[in-house]
Amino acid sequence: MLALAPGASDVGPLAEVVARGRTVVLSGAGISTESGIPDYRGETGSLRTHTPMTYGDFVGSPGGRQRYWARSHLGWRTIARASPNDGHRAVATLQARGYVDGIITQNVDGLHQAGGARDVVELHGNLDRVICLGCQGTFGREELDRRLRAANPVFEAEATRINPDGDVDLPEEAVAGFRVVECARCEDGVLKPDVVFFGENVPKNRVERCYRLIDAADSVLVLGSSLTVMSGFRFVRYAAKAGKQVLIVNQGITRGDLYATHRIDLPLGQALTDLTAALN
C-alpha cells in the first residue's frame, strides 16, 4: 500500500477521501494532548516514566488498589476540568456534516462528547463511571469523589504529572495513609473505574460494535494513535484487509503506517481544522 512520507502535511488527499462520507474515526491519546492530557508514547509520553495500573495488580492486591485510587483521586479532578480542543470540535463538526458516520475512541476522558460528538464508542471505557466488581452496580465518579473526600479529609498530596489513564505520579509516603472505600450498595464490593486496564480485555459486544461500524464504512481515519496496542490496531488491519482506505494523522510513526493509504504528520488541532476548512 502507498503511504505518504512521515512528514507530509497536505490534508488535501485526506479531504478528497473524507468528502465521500462513510468515514469512521479511530482516535487515541494524541487528540487530547492539546487539552493538557499527555499521550502514552509521544516525545513526552507518560510511558517513559509511568507504569500504568494493570488489571492483575488492581484485583489481586489491596495495596495496588490503594495506590491506584490515591493517585486517580487526584488525576480524575484534572481530567474532569479538561476542555475539548479544536481537534475534538472538528471531529464533531465532521460528524454533524455527515462526513463521519462513527467515532471510536481509545481515550477515557470523555472529551469527544464534551466537544459535541454523538454516539461515541468508548473502547476503553470512561473515567466518569465506576463499577463494583461484586454486585456489578455502576456509579458516577462524582459520587465516589465525594465519598473519598469524606474518607480522606486531610489528604493534601499534590500531583506532579497527569497520565492519559487518569493516574498521577505520587510519592509512596503520600499514598500510605489513603483510605479506599467499598461499594455503598453491597457494602463490601471492590470498586473499579469503568475503564479497561492494561491486561484486561475490551468487552466483546463493544468490539463487535466497532467491527460493524467499519464494515459499513469506506474509510477509517486514525487520529493521534501510535496503534501500538492491539485493541485499536486490529481495526486498522481489519479495514485494510477489507479494502477500505486507512487515513492516519499522527505526530510520529505508527504501527499502522504500512496499511495507510494517506498519512499526515501534524498536530491534531491544526490538521483537523484544516481538514474541515477544506471540506467547506
Instruction: List, as residue ranges, the binding site.
Output: 28-48, 106-109, 132, 135, 183, 186, 224-226, 250-252, 268
Q: Is 217 exposed, middle or buried (0-12, 13-18, 19+ CB in 10 A)?
A: buried
Instruction: List, as residue ranges, the binding site for Zn(2+).
Output: 132, 135, 183, 186
**Buried-state track 156-174, b at ≥16 Cβ within 10 A, e below 16:** ebebeebbbbbbbbbeeeb
Would you say 257 and 273 are in contact if contact means Cβ atoms under 8 Å apart?
Answer: no
Q: How far apart are CA 212 and CA 181, in angstroms?
A: 39
**Element spanning 17, H or E:** helix 12-18
What are the catalytic residues? 124
Q: How far apart are CA 183 and CA 145, in angstroms?
A: 13
Cα 11 versus chain centre, distance: 24
Enumerate the β-bridge partners of residue 23: 100, 219
Instruction: List, as residue ranges, the binding site for NAD(+).
Output: 28-48, 106-109, 224-226, 250-252, 268
